[in-house]
Chains A and B, each alone.
Chain A
Amino acid sequence: MSDTMKPKVGIHGLTSCYGCQLRMASVQEILRVAQRFDIEYWSMLSSDGTIRHVDIAFVEGSVTTMADEEELKAIRENADVLVAVGSCAIHGGVQGMIFGEEYRKVFGEIYGNCTMDFEAKIAEPIHKFVKVDHNLPGCPPEEDEIMYYLATFAMGSYPEEKDYPVCAECRRNGYPCVLIERGEPCLGPLVVAGCGARCPGHNIACFGCRGPVPHGVAWFDSLARTFREKGMEKEEIKARMEIFGRQYEKMNEMIEKVFEHED
């Protein structure tokens, strides 16, 4: 493949910690990645803010300001393929757990009456504003998945997204189940695999940083029922699941359903 045929790539950061971009920049084979693509734009590595046309745009972060929204729309208009990278872009991230009235209250507590030169809004995932072609999950994504996604794109193909939970990898790795054994509120059954069940492997219950399994197979209701049977209260369960799943459309409804027959 001649240099002129290298796919053009843009890597953008909206509101987030820039951890996903850091993870992408620190893959072992970054030099081979750089040879394979024309990197037109990279928020974290360059101050050049011009949005140019690219074949594939990777977007990290949630939409939290009007400027984010405008930038995202411009990225989408100038990209053939758009990939949402990480929990903020895909699910809104931890900042997405604050909503409505609660949002006003928290905003007031933090910023008081000061004036700002940007308009802040509730943090939302990017699919609420533009069409997303692929999701690269993680907080941040894992190196093997980053490389897999990049390699398939480089070949003119596309990646196969995982649609099964952390439990699958936890069992494949032979880790003891902290949910069964100790009744800990492990979110492994809800959360998309890819991390190799890193936390359960260290005896720590999964708290869902990678976000819910896609394609509507994250069973918040069944897991809420399981937690309830282990003695957890509704609010406790919600608090746990909201950290990374608040913006999952049916989460609240699914948890409420489990508790409605109780009273």
Chain B
Amino acid sequence: MQKLIYIFWYIRKMRYVKIANEQIHDFLNQLKQYGKLYAPVKVSDKFYDRKEIDDVCDIAFDYVRTLLPAKKYFIHPKEKMFDIDIENGTYDEPEEKIEPFVLFGVHACEIVGLRILDGVYLRDYVDTYYKRRREAGIIIGLSCLPDDHCFCNLRRSDFVDIGFDLFLHELPDGYLVRVGSPTGHKIVDECAELFSNVTQEDIAAFREFEEKRQQMFSHHGSFDNMRYLLELTARDELWDEESEKCLGCGNCTNTCPTCRCYDVQDIPDIDGKTAERIRFWDSCQFRSHGLVAGGHNFRETKKDRFFNRYVCKNSYFYGLGTSYCVGCGNCTYFCPAGIDYLGNLLRVRSASEPEEVVHEHN
């Protein structure tokens, strides 16, 4: 029955409304009634990150990327899972009550990222921690313009038609809003006085924005064959050279919207009677990620670990028919060693681009 409702939902025409710039702060304040509001703010000279919003004037609309992706609200960087009673051999998993919250200003690539996490965490073995938070989170998307590191267009994750409650597309005098869920409808209905109908000029401006945006991407074409090209070039010198630069710091995976590996540890109390199980973000770039009992390591060298990330990110997530990489460019932007992930993929895609590859392959 529920499936049927969803089918009807999807085949319906989407609802479109407009919000004028003058109304946007009222709208953001009204969003707070649906839960704690989190949005991108400037946190330092160059960086933005999502924070809880008190004054909506602090919200940055023109940010490109945040220090940590939206996943941090659904898989906490470090969290307690449950308490263990060692003496009785039992554990107590408290049913955590998650208050609803609103993520404002989520870009398309990150929305695709969350859908990939859904596929991993909600499909066969449901992660209840993730599920509860995902159900409590309201997603308000926001259009964006790419910087040099963005390549969501090559990943087909530059435009989303599902995975949000509302999606705001920038117009010269406001935003064209796509309504993407029953919750989205509810918000628009309850804040009806803030919205107006979409005009012909708005549609023209929307089209113009989308065209401008497509032209701004620095690379065009497709990365659909990337997985296979990577496998075929696994022995190229490129991987020796690039992994040599790598610091093994794990910034690339921690800032990735779809990296989801975590480590689990039991922390006993000093009395030896109780313990707590915690989990925290892990990284395939760390030595112990591939270390198993008996001391064998599946990814013994830094090069093994480095190349693993390229293969993992470029393998296919069958649930969405897309790669695990959404083309956000975070791993390049936040790499202290300046390793250019997109540049390396371009070298793999076409041996003549960029030029350095010519002598490396000779």
A contact set with B: CB distance below 8 Å: 1, 29, 32-33, 36, 147-148, 150-152, 154-155, 157, 160, 163-165, 167-168, 171-174, 176-177, 179-182, 186, 188-190, 215, 217, 219, 221-223, 225-226, 229
Contacts and interface: CB of A to CB of B under 8 A. Distances in A.
Interface in B26-70: 43-47, 49, 67-68
A154 B155 CA distance: 52
Interface of B: 43-47, 49, 67-68, 72, 77-78, 86, 244-251, 254-255, 265, 267-272, 280-281, 283, 286-288, 302, 334-338
A172 B288 contact: no
B47 A168 contact: no
Given A176-B44, A182-B45, A167 B251 contact: yes
Contact of B49 (A174, A186, A223): A174
A222 B267 contact: no
Nearest to B286: A164
B288 A163 contact: yes
B250 A181 contact: no
A163 B297 CA distance: 14
A6 to B, nearest CB: 11
Given A155-B86, A165-B247, 12 more contacts: A148-B267, A164-B283, A171-B250, A177-B67, A179-B336, A181-B44, A181-B46, A215-B287, A217-B287, A219-B248, A222-B244, A225-B245
A234 B302 CA distance: 24
A168 B67 CA distance: 13
Contacts of B49: 174, 176
A172 B246 contact: no
Contacts of A151: 267-270, 272
Counting chain A CB atoms within 10 Å of each CB, the highest count among B86, B265, B287 belongs to: B287
A222 B270 contact: no
A7 B281 CA distance: 34
26 contacts: A29-B270, A151-B269, A154-B268, A154-B270, A160-B265, A164-B250, A165-B248, A165-B249, A165-B250, A168-B254, A171-B67, A171-B77, A172-B254, A172-B280, A174-B77, A176-B46, A176-B49, A177-B67, A177-B334, A182-B45, A188-B249, A189-B247, A215-B287, A219-B302, A223-B337, A226-B338
A219 B357 CA distance: 26
B247 A222 contact: yes
A237 to B, nearest CB: 14
A36 B254 contact: no
* Closest CB pairs A-B (n = 10): A172-B77, A167-B249, A171-B254, A189-B247, A176-B44, A189-B249, A151-B268, A164-B286, A179-B336, A176-B47
B141 to A, nearest CB: 22
Contacts of A155: 86, 268, 272
A147 B251 contact: no
Nearest to B285: A164
B68 A171 contact: yes
A222 B251 CA distance: 14
A151 B338 CA distance: 41
B47 A181 contact: yes
Contacts of A181: 44-47
A147 B336 contact: no
A172 B271 CA distance: 29
Counting chain A CB atoms within 10 Å of each CB, the highest count among B249, B265, B269 belongs to: B249
A36 B272 contact: yes
Contacts of B338: 226, 229
B291 to A, nearest CB: 8
Nearest to A168: B250
B270 A176 contact: no
A205 B271 CA distance: 37
B360 to A, nearest CB: 15
B337 A226 contact: yes
Contacts of B67: 171, 174, 176-177
A33 B251 contact: no
Counting chain B CB atoms within 10 Å of each CB, the highest count among A36, A152, A174 belongs to: A174
Contacts of B334: 177, 180
Given A155-B268, A171-B251, A222 B287 contact: no
A177 B336 contact: yes
Contacts of B251: 167, 171, 177
Contact of A217 (B245, B248, B335): B248
Contacts of B248: 165, 189, 217, 219, 222
A47 B149 CA distance: 62
A173 B78 CA distance: 9
Nearest to A162: B288
B253 to A, nearest CB: 9
